[in-house]
Amino acid sequence: MKWQTSIRRIKEIQEEIAQLGELSKARKQELWERIRLDWNYHSNAMEGNTLTLSETKILLTHGIHAGNKYGRHYEEMKLHHEVLNMLQAIVREERPITQHLIRGLHAEMMGEKYEIDAQDPQGNPVKVAGRPGEYKKTQNFVQRGAERYTYAAVEDVEPRMQSLIAWLQEEEEKGERHPIELACRFHLEFVTIHPFDDGNGRMGRILMNLILMRMGLAPAIILREEKEQYLRRLIIAQDGGALEPLLDFVAESCLAAMEFRLKAYRGESLERPDDWEKRLLLLREGPKLPTLEKNAERVYESYYKSILPLFERLKDKLKQNFAPFFYDGKDTHYIDETEVSLSSLDLDFGFNRNKIKEDRDIMDMTGMHNSGVSSAGLHIQFISLMEDRTKSLEITIKAFFHGYSYRVVISSPQIEETTLLDKRYAEEITAEEQATIISTIGSSLAKQLEALLKKKGNEDRI
């Protein structure tokens, strides 16, 4: 069987890698970034995402929307990218694959909200809200030409997923099946159950590769160009035919990834034969030179339409979630490092906003109409942890106004300055992008709060 031949070659590669020693941190990062780019692009493209490879690279590297595609496609790519980053921690911490983990990954991948295509009682197409991290509530199916293939019934999802997880854990303990066979069989059953309203294909490939990564193998990235071949073999297995064609395919994909990993360990270039063409494509499809240069009005418009609404929404969200843990708090607003009084945060846990006239008057007062303004910032601090009044929590978010674009960054005493978004003038921050930024900041603060409470608990036990 071809898949067993691939496995023998993979074993040889593993043995050679074991003799070559550890990779440097920089080399590991280079390898992972390349894998991540290909995985993000190809897995999403297979599900209809319209971003090109160059647009994907520019988005994930620089946070720039280089094309003019449907906004959800950019959001899908960023969310998928973050899930792939989470996989490294899952593997490192040796966390088991559970239903809770799967639902959590799905929630991260789908974001705060999304829509799915459905039908009303009369059979008319409608859009309905999806449920991130929740199993489907309505039946799903796929049309195969004139035939309709129906996935697992709604009432069967929970027991079948429970059975699938139990099978996986049992097989991992036995250690009798090769990881590729284990991952392939799991993938087949998962996509046959189709437990979620949407995102099952991407989630199935993520879980398949998580199994491989947990067992020391490289993720098997299925290329967009191989979609028909992959689906054809998957359908054969779903319809009760042989599993071997799908096994052969997954094993070949994993072998290609392992060959690529070996190049990194040998110190060889990680460029592929067609990379020169892709570099030219990046130049051709990449963002054109900006036509909107910084001036007073553009700085003002970017601040008034994008930055200030983001700051206000962020304050509301952080107050709602973190204020109950603290006695006091405050926010400080800056324009070019000079404190301005746009609102007060007396923290009677209401984040009282004392607006100083209309927003446009405030902008005039702060000098934002001056094109020399280079930054605006918001510093939020929660003071006196309920468990220990000496502890506090804080975060700073800033917008920097450059020659042709504005950039949003965050920093705190615990994290280095990190860029979250880069936008050209006249390009507004969308509601989805606001939600992503707030989620990133909220997650960072939540981890810091957990660390403070854990440290306090440890001190109490001493």
- So which residues are the catalytic ones? 194
With beta carbons less than 8 A apart as the criterion, state whether 211 and 219 touch: no
- Long-range contact set of residues 224-228: C-beta below 8 Å, sequence gap at least 24: 224/41, 224/42, 224/45, 224/46, 226/253, 227/46
Sequence ranges of the binding site for ATP = 198-205
362 contacts: CB under 8 Å, gap ≥ 6: 342, 355, 356
Residue 278, token pair as written in the block: 């892709």
Residue 368, token pair as written in the block: 């934002």
Sequence ranges of the binding site = 198-205
414 contacts: CB under 8 Å, gap ≥ 6: 444, 448
With beta carbons less than 8 A apart as the criterion, state whether 434 and 415 touch: no
Distance CA 201, CA 208 (A): 11
- Which one-letter amino acid corresponds to residue 441? I
* Paired strand residues for 339: 334
